[in-house]
Each structure stands twice: as C-alpha cells, then as structure tokens.
C-alpha cells in the first residue's frame, strides 16, 4: 500500500473532526481570515489588552489556575491570597495538614477537591524536579511544557496553556468552557466538540502575537455581551459572523460594565 494512504488513528480522528467543523473544506487555514477579522473587531470594541511586563513564577500560576476552576475570578483570587498569606512557601503548603490547607482556600469553593489536588501536584513536582519550582520549564518548547504539565494529576490542556501564557509569556490561546462556548457560536468549531479539541483546532488559526489579546477579549466579551444565557446580541460587535442558532432571539439585557467583569485572576497573581 502506498505510504501516503496509510493513516494513523489520530489522522482519521482529526480529519473527521475537521469535516464536522467545516464540511467541504480541506484546511483549517480557510478560517484564518475570519479569526483575524474577529480579533480586530473585539480589539476595536473592547480595547487592546496589555499584559504585564513582570510575570509570576510558573508554579504560582499553576496553583492559581487550579484555584480558578469552577468559580469566578474574584473568589479564586481571594482563595489564592488567603493561601499565600497562610503559607509563604510551596514547601509549607505541601506539608501543611490537609484540613488547614482546605480551610485556607475555602472561600474559592470546592476546597476539598482542590486542596487534595494542589498538595498532590506539589509533591509530584518536588519528586520530579527535586524542588518546589517549575523554572526549568522556561528552557523547553511550548509542546514539551504542555506534555510535562498535563502529566501531573488533574492538570489539563487549559491549565497548562494558562501557565504558558500568563507566566511564561508564550503566545498561546487557552480555551476554557467559556471561550469554547464563544468559539462554537462564532463557527470556529462544532457544538459537539470540547474545550480540549477547540484548543488544538484554534492553535493554527489565532494570528501570531494575538494569543493574549484574543483570549482576554473573548473572556471580556463573554462576560459583558455574549453571555451563556441571555446574550446581548443587539450590541454585539461580531453579530454578522455569529452562527449561534438563537442569536438575536433573546430579550434585551443589561450590558455589564467593564468594572463588573474585567478582573482576571491570572493577571493578578503575585508571589
């Protein structure tokens, strides 16, 4: 059989996914102009986000991202601040009585699960690198970093991508459930997909140098306008590009102010 006809399972799954994503198309690159257009439209409507020149250590960001799961940014920030005030080093955090660790992060929600996960991950990192530190990741490629971080218990592609973007300054585009929802409404990925598949599908589509801007503005856009329930379609800056079946059908809602929804935990992680 000719070598060119031998397909791996990954090739087949990727091909089927792309067919569902864009029937009749053979390349993801066909979506690039649309993505660029939406990046520009959101920057015009919401501004161009500026990332801090001073970024936190990767282990700090990893723990903060875990605390951000299934809660809002303000509560997860309170949990992170409480944790760092009680335990000034990650070694102290890893060796603290579990009940005390859970108490320190309880304000962020799901303290029982997150406390166990954080302590386990800290111990895995210490066993792997010989210290409570992830600075060795800085010398590795983004794909290598994703592979190393997702090998830790409870760390998925979104958490790994957040460490890359918000700590290591890499030009990546993290996808959580909210970003995934908007990507489906804009027709970048099928509704039957997942945040993990959307992360992979969007990697070649996001314009170079726009990972932080696009991620941040989609979060803002989702909080202010394209909400999960009752989106404010009447003021949507990308309405014409939206493929959401119910667009324009919801009742006119109040547009949330920037003061209400621009705070992001991962931009406010301090050692």
The pLDDT score that the predictor gives to residue 211 is: 98
pTM: 0.85
Residue 41 or 8, more confident: 41
Q: Is 158 a catalytic residue?
A: yes
Integer CA distances (angstroms), 183 to 38, 118, 174, 245, in order: 11, 30, 12, 14
Whole-angstrom distance, CA of residue 179 vs CA of residue 136: 29
pLDDT exceeds 50 at position 4: no
Find, among 63, 58, 65, the residue nearest to 136 by Cα.
58
The pLDDT score that the predictor gives to residue 23 is: 45
The one catalytic residue in 102, 114, 158, 210 is: 158
Structure token pair of residue 154: 């409870």
Whole-angstrom distance, CA of residue 197 vs CA of residue 193: 6
Domains of the chain as residue ranges with CATH = 28-50+173-267 (1.10.1670.10), 58-166 (1.10.340.30)
Are 182 and 221 within 8 A, CB to CB? yes
Average pLDDT value for residue range 224-236: 93
The pLDDT score that the predictor gives to residue 8 is: 42
Are 93 and 87 within 8 A, CB to CB? yes
Are 148 and 186 within 8 A, CB to CB? no
The pLDDT score that the predictor gives to residue 28 is: 56
The pLDDT score that the predictor gives to residue 204 is: 95
Band of the pLDDT at 266, cuts 50, 70, 90? confident
């Amino acid at each position: 059989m000719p070598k060119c006809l031998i397909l791996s399972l990954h090739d087949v799954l990727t091909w089927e996914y792309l067919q569902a994503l864009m029937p009749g198309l053979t390349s993801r690159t066909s979506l690039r102009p649309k993505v660029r257009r939406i990046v520009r439209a959101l920057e015009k409507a919401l501004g161009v986000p500026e990332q801090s020149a001073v970024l936190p250590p990767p282990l700090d960001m990893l723990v903060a991202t875990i605390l951000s799961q299934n809660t809002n940014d303000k509560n997860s920030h309170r949990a992170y601040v409480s944790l760092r005030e009680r335990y000034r080093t990650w070694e102290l955090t890893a060796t603290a009585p579990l009940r005390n660790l859970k108490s320190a992060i309880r304000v962020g929600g799901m303290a029982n699960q997150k406390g166990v996960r954080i302590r386990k991950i800290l111990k895995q990192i210490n066993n792997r690198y010989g210290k409570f530190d992830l600075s060795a990741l800085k010398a590795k490629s983004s794909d290598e970093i994703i592979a190393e971080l997702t090998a830790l218990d409870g760390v998925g592609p979104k958490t790994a991508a957040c460490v890359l973007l918000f700590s290591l300054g890499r030009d990546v585009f993290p996808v959580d459930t909210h970003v995934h929802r908007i990507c489906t409404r804009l027709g970048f990925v099928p509704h039957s997909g997942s945040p993990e598949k959307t992360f992979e599908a969007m990697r070649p589509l996001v314009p170079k140098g726009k990972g932080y801007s696009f991620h941040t503005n989609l979060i803002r856009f989702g909080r202010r306008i394209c909400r999960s329930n009752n989106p404010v379609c009447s003021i949507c800056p990308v309405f014409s590009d939206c493929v959401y079946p119910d667009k324009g059908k919801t009742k006119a809602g109040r547009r949330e102010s920037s003061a209400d929804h621009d705070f992001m935990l991962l931009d406010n992680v301090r050692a």
